[in-house]
A and B are shown apart, each in its own frame.
Chain A
Amino acid sequence: MTATLTVRGLHLTRGTRAILQGVNLDACAGEIVALMGLSGSGKTTILRVIAGLDVPDAGEIAAGKTGMVFQFHYLFEHLSAIDNVTLAPIHVHGVTATEARVRAQSLLEQLGVGHRADALPRELSGGEAQRVAIARALAVDPPLLLLDEPTASLDPARRNDLGDALRALAATGRALVMTSHDDEFVREHASRVVVLANGVVVEEGDPGEVLSRPQHRATKALLQVERARHGVQ
């Protein structure tokens, strides 16, 4: 299986702080890779570097067209949901407005927010905004989709819906890379977990394996924090 994303030896320093210290990462079509780690471990930075928003000091990235869904969605506040989705196809990819609208509407339907097409971002709930943001990222049909903390703004019922939606996306041949704090969600929906600590990968593998029998102390610490957060002893 060829990798949709290949990252080798990624280094990034901000001021005196080394954020990434030689990260290697792969993601293949059909795979959902979860990046886990305590706050400040460099998870979000990796996504930003892959997306081209931050420039690394060293390292190689091989990735095709990439879509990204931000933790806070960053929908274009002055445009309706459907206009958020059609903007890039029309202006970047030269799709006609009619065609873009038809496709956008069907994407919104698939994600269960077809009825909110004309709503402004400020009128959407957190879960709806996230789905619109996913639709916006998918509208230009990227083989690689990055998601920053996709479960952060969702209640438990919505979390499972999202998991199903992500697996359906992976099933169509996309590679998904997401950051997450949520070990339950990762265990249930990710195909692989990568644990980061201090800007390096310390452990990776099958989520059930890694999260049930953590080897590295960073992974153990992470799970303890998560348990404490959920009130589980």
Chain B
Amino acid sequence: MRLVAAWLSAMLLTATAHGQTPAPLRWGGDAEGGAPFVEADPSDPNKVTGFDVEIAELVAARLGRSPQFIQIAFQSLDQSARRGDFDIGLSGIEDIPARRQSLAASIPYYEFREVLTVREGDRDRYRTLADLRGRRVATLGGTMAYDLLLAGERSHGITAVSYDEDVHPYSDLANGRVDAVVLDHVLAERAMRRNTGLVTHPDALATGHYIAITAPENTALRDQVDTILRDAMRDGTLERIFRKSQVWNDDQPRLFERVLSTVGTNPLSTLGAPGTLGVESAVRLYLPSLFRAALITLALSCLSMALAVALGSLIAIGRVYGDSITRLLLTTYVEVMRGTPVLLQLFVIYYGLSSIIRLPAFLAALVGLGLNYAAYESEIYRSALEAVPRGQLDAARILGFTNIQTLRLIRAPQAFRIALAPMTNDFVALLKDSSLVSVITVVELTKQTQIFATNIGSWLLPGLLCAAMYLAMSLPLGYLARRLEEQWRMPGA
């Protein structure tokens, strides 16, 4: 009891001490590929630099608080703001209606243009989205640009390809995996410096704005941020910050003028952005794409599993029947594949090997998952082969069967029945692991759900629909496996 009391009073003291010095301003952003907004400082990777960093520091300074950076994945910024993981989010966050509905959003502080980047040789061929019919056009998922491309899928017959970050769309454009990239001009200009042989058409496909976000109930902080931003527009602080990052242009003074002449925090017209979506129409709009994504998940899982089963069988046979060198090589393969994250393997296959072999995303996903699961399958088959009673093999040998015949006619069929249950478990696991392939731009069910959730500003409905679709795929499988198992039950198994 005394200990608890001592602890409580210590906590109270700490709390009082905090009350005297203001709490730090926790601000969230994504430093991964986040230049020039937020990026790790090249001279000190523990610090971040970029114009959003300076705006965060400005806001903190004028509030009399110290800034504290919190790393949040770009796609999760909205959810984290709502959960209260940070006080204010600043990371090139776009002003879109769903965000304004579900969060407290600041006044726009920067105007960007969505621009089309293509390879130099295609400069004249691909000038607009309409020129790109049947072509793959890349962008960052969950952005205005992605919505623009989805609209383009319907109106111009392009294929939208979504990335989780803004670096690989351009490198994949340079190496021919996609034919164009649509992103804001800030990112496009950065990318042009990194990659040679690319050109960006100057005309805007749409314009948009960056804003700061806070939790929906934290309008007090949002209002303070608005005041600070307005002051910084008037006194030239923002211009200085943008000039330092080389993103200042003629659009900005016009934006500042418009913002300063309006009262309150009403958004400016967000040209090119889709209109506000109600839940019902959002479901109608996204349901077909969820079904399509579910089909991709199913096809990818089935094909990867087929590859894993074929390869896993060969590995298992090699490990049971092979000589010591074969066994060592195969064991090494199995341990490496099981001992490293499948995410890493996907990155290596898709990006790491792209200078040697440039696999299309779906094929890379199929191969990546297949190679990884082959390691797990092989272990199941190996132990199943070894679980077939010795007497069965003795009986086969006396009858004159060769080793291969014994394997094909007696051992493998019996092992298959033993392996069936763990195999089904693996297939259900694969069905869910297939969501990892969104990192290499395959839009499967989970990714599509995430896009859906970002655009309507809520995970509840998309999450339920997504879960229902996964269950609709995995439950029948489990049922089928149980049926087959009962039918084939081995004595003593």
Contacts and interface: CB of A to CB of B under 8 A. Distances in A.
Given A74-B389, A74-B392, A77-B414, A53 B398 contact: yes
Contacts of B414: 76-78
Contact of B400 (A72, A75, A140): A140
Given A88-B400, A122-B491, A76 B395 contact: yes
A92 B488 CA distance: 26
A77 B392 contact: yes
A73 to B, nearest CB: 8
Given A77-B491, A78-B417, A92 B392 contact: no
B399 A136 contact: yes
B405 interface: yes
A31 B389 CA distance: 32
Contacts of A88: 399-401
A92 B395 contact: no
Contacts of A93: 400
B48 to A, nearest CB: 63
Contacts of B397: 52-53
Interface string B89-129: 00000000000000000000000000000000000000000
Nearest to B414: A78
A76 B399 CA distance: 12
B491 A70 contact: no
Contact of B401 (A67, A68, A70, A91): A91
B405 A70 contact: no
A140 B394 CA distance: 16
A218 interface: no
B490 A91 contact: no
Interface in A137-170: 137, 140
B398 A68 contact: yes
Contact of A70 (B391, B413, B490): B391
A81 to B, nearest CB: 14
Residue in B392, B400, B490 whose Cβ sees the most chain A Cβ within 10 Å: B400
Interface string A62-85: 000011101010111110000000
Interface string B155-178: 000000000000000000000000
A88 B406 CA distance: 10
Nearest to A136: B399
Contacts of B405: 91-92
Contacts of B491: 77, 121-122
A77 B9 CA distance: 72
Given A87-B409, A91-B409, A122-B491, A74 B401 contact: no
A51 interface: yes
A8 B99 CA distance: 92
A76 B410 contact: yes
A92 B402 CA distance: 8
Interface string B218-259: 000000000000000000000000000000000000000000
Contacts of B417: 78
B394 A78 contact: no
A155 B439 CA distance: 67
Nearest to A122: B491
Contacts of B409: 87, 91
A92 B399 contact: yes
A70 B393 CA distance: 12
A91 B396 CA distance: 11
A13 B490 CA distance: 35
B416 to A, nearest CB: 9
Residue in A53, A77, A88, A91 whose Cβ sees the most chain B Cβ within 10 Å: A77
Nearest to A54: B394
A140 B392 contact: no
Interface string A108-129: 0000000000000110000000
Contacts of A66: 398
Contacts of A72: 391
Contacts of A91: 401, 405, 409
B395 A74 contact: yes
A122 B400 CA distance: 24
A76 B391 CA distance: 9
Contacts of B400: 88, 92-93, 140
A52 to B, nearest CB: 7
Given A70-B394, A74-B395, A88-B400, 17 more contacts: A51-B398, A53-B397, A53-B398, A66-B398, A67-B398, A70-B395, A74-B392, A76-B410, A77-B490, A78-B413, A78-B417, A88-B399, A88-B401, A92-B400, A121-B491, A122-B490, A140-B399
9 tightest Cβ-Cβ pairs between the two chains A and B: A74-B391, A88-B399, A74-B395, A92-B400, A122-B491, A68-B398, A78-B413, A51-B398, A53-B394
Interface of B: 389, 391-392, 394-401, 405, 409-410, 413-414, 417, 488, 490-491
Interface of A: 48, 51-53, 66-68, 70, 72, 74-78, 87-88, 91-93, 121-122, 136-137, 140
